[in-house]
Structure 1
Amino acid sequence: MIKRPLARTPFLFTAAALLGTSTIAFSAIAASPDPATLREAALQDDTAWDILEGITTEVGQRLAATPAEARAREWAVAELKRQGFANVHVETFTMPVWQRGEETAEIVAPFPQKLAVAALGNSSGTPAGGLTAEVAAFDGLDALVKAPASAVAGKIVFVNHHMAAQQDGGSYGEIGAIRRTGPSIASQKGALAIVIRSIGTDHHRVPHTGVQTWVNGAKAIPAAALSVPDAEQLARVLERGKPVTLHLSIGAGMAGTGTSGNVIAEVPGRDPKAGIVLVGGHLDSWDLATGTIDDASGLAIVTAAAKRIMAAGKPRRTIRIVWFGAEEPGGFGGDAYAKAHAGEKHVLVGESDSGADRVWKVDFTAADPKAPLADRIALALAPLGITRGSARAHGGTDVGPIAQVTGAPVIDLHQDATRYFDIHHTADDTLDKVDPAQLRQNVAAWTAMLAIAAEDAEQLAPVAPAPER
């Protein structure tokens, strides 16, 4: 780890600016460790920025199960120890490794021109010299599903769509199926390769990568995403009514097995029987940029919040921070954690993995999501402009598995995702995209939640664990 100065960011943001209240000095925390005091103090704290700037600068991209992710684990252990956390350690696991190579695309006919492209996770490579074939275009996944094999076989499939920006990012689940399952469907129908319009809401000329998994015996084929403007350009060329030929060169492929791991740290509680409050995010990232919003910011947010609770005194319950490995290629870290810790008492779980823009809504999943404890958490979040929702919290890829096997209650602190899918999985996922003021609002929200959940004598009743699959 490179030693870095602890200089603070030049951005200024106070509790008074957001809450209309007086500024509270950090030195007052130990004397008044109540949720409101901790929440307001967090609005002035740059611990999250320091962590975020550190890992994105000193490590950079962190593709799962590669030497880059291993360097990130080493950095994480040193940083969590430096921050004063206890029981810092790594729990490793093995998994398949995918690596990117060269990636180019160009229209050969009728209007020759280059296109911006990025391979999707688990894509195979093209033959030496690339692949040239006619394009078979489909408007959406359903059109590809309904197409006869004769319309696809021997061609490069192109799937177009439109993804709108939404505060809750809800369209990602539906539109993302094009990336997750489209390649397998195309392969099963005999396609030579597939390119999709990026699963993104921007109009920058940067493609969005992301994982897809070969299912039902589908043969691995080259699979890639075009930037949104390039996909729209290809669609306009196709509208001319002439056959379109595409040349694709993808050097990606599987590279055996490797090691990933979860980095774990704790704020030990006073009562070992009171259970664990688990918070986390994922350490790995895609390899096109520095993985700032996805998900170094989430790691920084929950870690800074846990540190603030630790500085205020020993909480009743243990707070466990997990920097999960290998989320992007399929949630390997979450599955490994659930397998290793299913026998432990988790009283509340949550993760931060939607960027660094402000938290706007909170949801719960518990046997009684309207229990007084949930009410107290929601009330403590309200001064930050956070409303209480009525949907079931799902927790996300990393903490979802432990919630499923144990029935642990789940909390979702929803971040504003309006611009998240402009940047998600692209070469634009860099530090300059983070607003320090909104980052601090996230830390304040997680701090207020932890101050109550880790100390309150009450707990949310667990839900029935999911049946074994």
Structure 2
Amino acid sequence: MKHNAFVVLSVLFLGLTVGCQHPSNTSDNTSSSQITNQTSQNALVNQELAQKALNSNLAYDLVESLTVEVGPRLAGTDKDLIAVEWAMNKLNSLGFDKVYKEAVQVPVWERGYANASITAPFAQPLVITALGGSVATPKGGIEAQIVRFDSLAALEAADPSLVKDKIVFIDHKTERHRNGKGYGMTVGGRSKGAVAAAKKGAVAIVIRSIGTDSDRMAHTGVMRYQQGVAKIPAAAMSNPDADLINAMLKRDSKITLALDMSSKNLGTATSYNVIAEVTGSSKPDEIVLIGAHLDSWDEGTGAIDDGAGVAIVTAAGKLIQDLPKKPARTVRVVLYAAEEIGLIGGKAYAKAHEQELAKHYIAAESDFGAGKIYQLDVKVNPQVFEQVLAEHHGMKTVGVEMGNNKAYGGPDVSMLPNYGVPVASLRQDGTDYFDYHHTPNDTLDKIVPSALAQNVAVYAQFAYTMAQSEIDLRPILAKDK
């Protein structure tokens, strides 16, 4: 009874707060009572969506199916195409109004083996993994002295004479934060470290894993080369092994490491963005986009990254599909290709749909595991920011607070604000996300079903509210992009 009373109060609050607003595209002939009635109806539907989501196992069943029946699905591999077929079959079986796929050209990379060991003065094996896109070592491997740096910035500032003919070791620890901001502080060493090291004459680079765990497992992730700069092998070592090397360096400044990797690039292949739609009842050409990425790294089964996201947005879309009356705008579920290797599916989508991006009302992506959503951030016209938050007040019944106007939307939709598309970030609790991220430990058991269901509830509420909204979210001012 206490919960029901809170729902009623939420509906009344919405009626009072949003009903008194004056949306820019609402006719002057529309009475305030009509606006209030519609707002109250929307709030009731939102609470119904949330309750159904919290009582449903659909999202968990979906991510279980994906991780068990497909498993790791590195872009450009046979498993990637199996995942596309899986997604098409699931979306069709769920009864979406429209299901289709769009071809995307992706680079193909093979991990191969990666071995490393300290050979002197304290011989010990290390646990490493190749970084995505890395070249192999020369046949027979590399053996050279380590040179350690606290960060990418320290490497970039170093005298080249300290680096030449050595193996660079970037030892930058990733801090644990609920919002994952520690990742942003360290990930540059993974993505840019090989170029910085090669420019100074290094023969290879091995970084401390970009992760918050203390497991003896290495975290993979994409790295990049630069045209005109030598391509050197790049790997990540487990956090305990990084600690081991630091202990060795306290005893002897000259540590020799042997590295042997067989990774290689295999050209390009065709993958697909997979798309499903709930057709809008009165504004079918306007799009509310909720997305996730279908590909994963090849080390784990891709459960939290991003099987969870695939399940969340698909289940949310299904709840809206099954409503007795469809919302005004079309809700488009996009399962992006090849996010892990450079947001390729996201970029391809933006290019393919450039002519209709003016009709994209708002976009959001789920790509941060399955922790509970605790805050809603948006990026909309600042003049309507408070109105937008007022429309989403009902989310408080499932534990979501209203946030700021600084959202970036998620990796695959992060480029859309440059086209004027408003975005939202439904902030998940990522306290332990980087314990498992890009490791063999990214498996189904890390997902808590009740937290996953809460995500579905929030995404369903968000998508429905935005599909019904009468607020003009644009323009996003240039200074706010």
Instruction: Give the TM-score normalised by the residue count of structure 1.
Output: 0.90
Q: Contact 2:110 / 2:263 at 8 angstroms: preserved in 1?
A: yes
The residue correspondences of 1:45-444 to structure 2 (distance < 5 A) are: 45-215=56-226, 217-272=228-283, 275-312=286-323, 313-344=325-356, 345-368=359-382, 370-371=384-385, 373-405=387-419, 407-444=420-457
TM-aligned CA deviation for residue 31 of structure 1: 13
Does the aligned pair in 2 maintain the 1:373–1:459 contact within 8 Å?
no
- Asked if the contact 1:90/1:262 (under 8 Å) is kept, the reply is yes
Q: Which residue pairs with 1:447 in the alignment?
A: 460
- The superposition leaves residues 110-166 of structure 1 with CA deviations (integer Å, 9 ceiling, x where unpaired) of 111111001001111011221111111112122211111111111111110221110
- The offset of 1:370, in angstroms, is 4.3
Contact 1:214–1:220 (8 Å) recurs in 2 = yes
268-277 or 175-184: which moved more?
268-277
- In 2, the alpha carbon distance for the partners of 1:57 and 1:459 equals 43
3-state secondary structure, aligned to 2:321: helix
Q: In structure 2, what residue type is equivalent to 1:34?
A: V
Contact preservation (8 Å) 1:69, 1:260: yes
Indicate yes or no: 2:473 matched with 1:460.
Answer: yes
Kept in 1: contact 2:392–2:465 (CA 8 A):
no
Amino acid at match of 2:407: A
Residues 15-54 of structure 1: per-residue CA shift (max 9 Å, x gap): 979x899xxxxxxxx9996111211221111111111011
CA distance in 2, matches of 1:415, 1:99: 32
Cα distance 1:91–1:381, how it changes in 2: closer, same or farther (>3 A)? same
Q: Aligned equivalents of 1:104 and 1:147: distance in 2?
A: 27
The higher radius of gyration belongs to 2
Give the conservation status (yes or no) of the 8 Å contact 2:100–2:274: yes
RMSD of the TM alignment (CA)? Answer: 2.3
Deviations, residues 360-397 of structure 1 (Å, cap 9, x unaligned): 11101011364465123430211122112225110122
SS in 2 for 1:458: coil
Contact 1:404-1:466 within 8 A present in 2 as well:
no
Letter in 1 for 2:219: H
Q: Distance in 2 between matches of 1:445 and 1:131?
A: 50
Secondary structure of 1:259's counterpart equals: strand
Aligned AA (1:192): V
Q: 1:429 is aligned with what amino acid? A: D
Cα pair 2:290 2:463 within 8 Å, conserved: no
Paired with 2:287 and 2:224, the residues of 1 have a C-alpha distance of 33
Report % sequence identity: 43
1:84-111 per-residue CA deviation (whole Å, 9 max, x = no partner) reads 1122111112132111001111000111
- Taking structure 2 as the reference length, what is the TM-score of the superposition? 0.88
Deviations 1:204-241 (A, max 9, x none): 11100001111252221110000000111011111212
The equivalent of 1:3 in structure 2 is none
| SS in structure 2 of the partner of residue 290 of structure 1 | coil
Q: Deviations over 1:230-279 (max 9, x none)?
A: 11101111121241111111111111111122001100111246610001
AA matched with 2:294: L
What's the CA shift for 1:167? 0.6
Deviation of 1:409 (Å):
1.0
CA shift digits 1:165-195 (9 cap, x unpaired): 1011112112111111111100111111000
Distance 1:402 1:232 in 2: 40
Q: Distance in 1 between matches of 2:269 and 2:387?
A: 42
**Is the Cα contact below 8 Å between 1:89 and 1:263 reproduced in 2?**
yes
Name the stretch that deviates more: 250-259 or 413-422: 250-259
Instruction: Answer yes or no: is the 8 Å Cα contact 1:167–1:418 preserved in 2.
Output: yes
Q: Which residue of 2 aligns with 1:6?
A: none
What is the distance in 2 between the residues matched to 1:300 and 1:144? 40
On the 8 A contact 2:43/2:394 being kept in 1, the answer is no
Asked if the contact 2:300–2:442 (Cα under 8 Å) also holds between the matched residues in 1, the reply is yes
CA distance in structure 2 between the partners assigned to 1:286 and 1:185 by the alignment: 25
- Name the CA distance, whole Å, in 2 between partners of 1:390 and 1:337: 27
Decide whether the 8 Å contact of 2:63 with 2:308 is kept in 1: yes
Q: Which runs of 5+ in 1 are unaligned?
A: 1-14, 22-29
Amino acid at match of 1:366: V
Contact between 1:373 and 1:460, CA under 8 Å: does it hold in 2?
A: no
SS in 2 for 1:64: coil
How much does 1:291 deviate?
0.7
Contact 2:381 2:475 in 1 (8 A): yes
Distance 1:140 1:456 in 2: 46
Bigger helix fraction: 2
